[in-house]
Amino acid sequence: MKDKIHPRYYEDAKVTCHCGNTFTTGATTPELKIEICSKCHPLYTGKQRIVDTMGRVERFKNRYNLKD
């Protein structure tokens, strides 16, 4: 293998989520900022967030008579 072609590996890289959760992991950068993590991801929390654009969700619910 060639020398000096691989990036430096940080075994204790700090990861900061938008929700405020922080943890350490291995990465090629010393600090990572992410938007979503396992503490705030809907798959892991069971909470679903729907971003409604111009009433599309409401129109869909009305069309198929769905209740909240």
Q: What is the pLDDT of residue 61?
A: 82
Q: Using one digit for the tens of pLDDT, what is the confidence trace for 28-45?
A: 999 999 988 888 877 777
The 3-class SS string of 26-51 reads EECCCEEEECCCCCCCHHHHCCCCCC
Q: Quick one: which of 39, 38, 42, 34 has its CA closest to 16?
A: 34
User: Residue 53 gets which letter from DSSP?
Assistant: S
40 domain residue, yes or no: yes
Q: For position 41, which CATH number holds?
A: 4.10.80.400
SS3 6: coil
In a domain, 20, yes or no: yes
Residue 40 gets the label, from left (phi > 0), alpha (psi -120 to 50) or beta, of alpha
Would residue 31 count as lying in a domain?
yes
Residue 54 has pLDDT above 80, yes or no: no
Q: Which domain holds residue 23?
A: 10-63
Res 51 pLDDT > 80: no
Is residue 68 in some structural domain?
A: no
